[in-house]
Amino acid sequence: MQYDEIFTNHPPSNGRAVQRSEDAGASFTDMTLDTNGVSRHPDQHAMAAVPGNPDILFNADDGGIWRLDGSFTNASIQCGSRGLTGADRTDCFQWLLKIPTSITTLNGGLGTLQYQSLSLNPADPLNDLLGGTQDNGTHAFQSGAWFESIGGDGGQSGISASNANIRTHTYFEAQVDVNFHGSSSVWWDWIADSLFEVEPQSFYIPIIFDPTNAGYMYAGLDFVWRTTDNGGDQATLDAHCNEFSGDFPANVTCGDWVRLAQGKNKALGDGKFWGNDKLTAGFVVATERAPSDNGTLWVGTRRGRVFVTSNANDVNPSKVNFFRIDTSAQPSRFVSGLDIDPTNPNHAFISYSGYNAYATAAGQAPGHVFEVTYNPVAHTASFGSDLATNLGDQPITDIAVDWSKGDVYVSTDFGVFARKSGDTNWQEAGSGLPPVAVYGLTINLSAGSRVLYAATHGRSAWRLDLPAVP
């Protein structure tokens, strides 16, 4: 997609994600947008023309499969109202001379979206979900049906445990919205003025609602950032920072995030305050709050640093004290998952991405899955031995624990695997899921709704009902 040709006051094209030539490439017309305003996806992967009828085209992209019906319309008259001059005006009249009359989706019955993760409403975990997708928006699942709640790239999302009407989603990097009206498509408010591109950050940043402190949210960049009122005053955000209707005045800051443990040398990712190891773009990639207290927060970075604070809820953000608990004996790789014991805030399971082979070749510690116990007095931790015994040397992308039964679940590039309580070997977690990359696991352990969700990268969203607790 030629973004600089559409995100401008004078667009000379419709994006040119797909172009068509009838004269062996001497000239092209723009196939990106049809006469009804339906646009092709920016990332194309495959195309196939109908034999004997080259006007009908099928194309595959990050949004599934789409079809041109074989009819075209001269839309060049639109160029006259775009304020174009010179070569841009000439190009526009050429590119819009023959655009598709109709671009239609053929995605009925397909499940091919690339989910990053799934979040759930703790009060209704079987029927109320949010999930961000690769370049296909953030989708909501309610009453047995999916719909797009907000477009664009879809990263991490969340539903407040204190008020299920309050939700958040991200696009890419630290671009964060909040919604005070459930998953309503028109009520997403921008709250990232203080976050976006201010310091090193992941393409999809980690962001969570606090499980016990209403209004608290945490976002991981080079530091951990916090808001205590869901990003700001609702009336102000709804009036001025709404993605569709806000006026964004200069005197209004959309989002009131603040750094925790302030001080330029205390960045958790690259900060040398914590040591000279595991640096180099080591921004925060995992955040998890313990559900059994009001202050314990575990944090992991891209280069394998692990931190714990017991007072993440301190009124004064500069007094939040982080303690680094990993050493050189633990992997120097991406912390891909954290799951904290719901009865003990100092007990957790941690997963790492990457390969042991590359780590050991570089003189670094191997390992993929660890059970960790933190001592909040001595500020040290026991990581135990690597539990990924028969999984093979493959990246672990996330982890979820059935704490009531002692079963541990991990996701990989080939599906979801389980280590049942009392067993040292891993097995496929369940039947039905194809061998697909799973980027996120979300578990709910409420009585009557014990379920594990898998966010796959290319085969949509899946659910595994967990056995009841005896």
Quote the CA–CA distance of 289 and 340 in Å, as a whole number: 8
Tens-place pLDDT, residues 75-100: 999 999 999 999 999 999 999 999 99
Contact between 102 and 34 under an 8 Å Cβ cutoff? The reply is yes
Contact between 72 and 20 under an 8 Å Cβ cutoff? The reply is no
H helix or E strand, kind and range, residue 357 = helix 356-361
Tokens (6 digits) for 333: 């790789």
Under DSSP, the state recorded for 81 is G
Quote the CA–CA distance of 441 and 336 in Å, as a whole number: 11
Res. 263: pLDDT tops 70:
no
Share of the chain above pLDDT 90, in %: 87
3-class SS of residue 274: helix
Of 206, 172, 176, nearest in space to 189 by CA: 176
Residue-range domain boundaries for the chain? 3-105, 122-198+208-259
The whole-model pTM stands at: 0.91
State the pLDDT confidence band at 403, using cuts at 50, 70 and 90.
Answer: very high
Contact between 368 and 332 under an 8 Å Cβ cutoff? The reply is no
- Is 321 exposed, middle or buried, given 0-12, 13-18 or 19+ CB atoms closer than 10 A? middle
Res. 309: pLDDT tops 70:
yes
Q: What is the mean pLDDT of residues 352-376?
A: 95
DSSP string, 431-457: SS--S--EEEEEEE--TT--EEEEEEB
Res. 271: pLDDT tops 90:
no
Which amino acid makes up residue 142? Q
Q: Please tell me which residue, 262 or 236, carries the higher pLDDT value.
A: 236
Backbone angles phi, psi at 461, to 5 degrees: -110, 140
Of 387, 370, 382, nearest in space to 424 by CA: 387
Backbone angles phi, psi at 80, to 5 degrees: -65, -25
Residue whose structure tokens are 């899946």? 462
Quote the CA–CA distance of 27 and 19 in Å, as a whole number: 10
Residues paired with 322 in a beta bridge: 309
- Is 216 exposed, middle or buried, given 0-12, 13-18 or 19+ CB atoms closer than 10 A? buried
Contact between 97 and 28 under an 8 Å Cβ cutoff? The reply is no
> β-strand 380-382 against 369-375: which pairing, if any?
antiparallel
Quote the CA–CA distance of 454 and 442 in Å, as a whole number: 7
- Is 305 exposed, middle or buried, given 0-12, 13-18 or 19+ CB atoms closer than 10 A? buried
Listed as own residue / partner, the contacts of 381-390 with beta carbons closer than 8 Å and 24 or more positions apart are 381/306, 381/308, 381/325, 381/326, 383/326, 383/329, 383/330, 383/350, 387/419, 388/426, 389/424, 389/425, 389/426, 390/425, 390/426
Quote the CA–CA distance of 197 and 325 in Å, as a whole number: 28
Contact between 128 and 121 under an 8 Å Cβ cutoff? The reply is yes
Residues paired with 308 in a beta bridge: 298, 323
Lowest mean pLDDT among 264-278, 419-433, 451-465: 264-278
Q: What is the mean pLDDT of residues 15-22?
A: 95
Quote the CA–CA distance of 92 and 237 in Å, as a whole number: 38
- Altogether, the residues listed in the chain come to a count of 470
> β-strand 438-444 against 451-456: which pairing, if any?
antiparallel
State the pLDDT confidence band at 269, using cuts at 50, 70 and 90.
Answer: confident
Residue 281: the pLDDT is: 77
Quote the CA–CA distance of 271 and 375 in Å, as a whole number: 23
3-class SS of residue 100: strand
Residue 43: the pLDDT is: 85
DSSP H helical segments within 186-305, as ranges?
234-240
CA dihedral 7, 11, 17, 23 (to 10 degrees): -170
Contact between 378 and 405 under an 8 Å Cβ cutoff? The reply is no
Residue 264: the pLDDT is: 60
Report the sign of the C-alpha dihedral through residues 173, 179, 185, 189, in that order: negative
DSSP H helical segments within 206-354, as ranges?
234-240
Q: What is the mean pLDDT of residues 16-23?
A: 95
- Tell me the pLDDT of the chain averaged across its residues: 95
Tens-place pLDDT, residues 194-242: 998 889 999 999 999 999 999 999 999 999 999 999 999 999 999 999 9
Q: Quick one: three-class SS letters along 378-428?
A: CCEEECCCCCCCCCCCCCCCEEEEECCCCEEEEEECCEEEEECCCCCCCEE
